[in-house]
Every structure is written in C-alpha cells, then in structure tokens.
Amino acid sequence: MARAGPGGTERSLETARLLALQIAPRQAEAIADPDGGARLRALGMLSGILNLLWVAVVVLMIVRPGSASA
C-alpha cells in the first residue's frame, strides 16, 4: 500500500475534515431545504477545493518526497 510522503498525511486529514465538517452537512441542508441554487453553488466551490486537495494527496503518494527510491 502506498504511503503518503511528508505533508501527505496532513493533506489527507484536511481533506477528510473538509468533507466531514463542511460538505456533508451542507449537502444535507441543501436537500432538506432547497433554495434558488445559492447553496449548490457554494457546494460546487467546496467540492472543487476537495478535489484539488485529493489531487495533491495522490501526487504526494506517487512522488513520495524525501524517499530514497524516488
């Protein structure tokens, strides 16, 4: 199993925190009480940030900075 390099673990935690504390609750609110789309636009922005963080995690797992075998 690939291990995250330095910074990869922190990025994984940031990403999980964003998903658990921001995106999931806002999705539940948007489903429970639909509005004119303002919440969905904010969710789209947060989802984009989440995707960028996951890309950084994957790149750090592949590149493995500080590894002797890189």
Quote the pLDDT of residue 4.
Answer: 46
Quote the pLDDT of residue 1.
Answer: 43
Q: If you count DSSP H runs as helices and E runs as strands, how many of each does the chain have, helices first?
A: 3, 0
Half-sphere exposure in the Cβ direction for 12 (13 Å, CA): 12
- Model confidence pLDDT, tens digit, residues 10-65: 888 888 888 899 899 998 998 898 888 888 888 999 899 889 988 988 888 888 77
Residues sharing a CB contact under 8 Å with residue 29, sequence separation 6 or more, in sequence order? 39
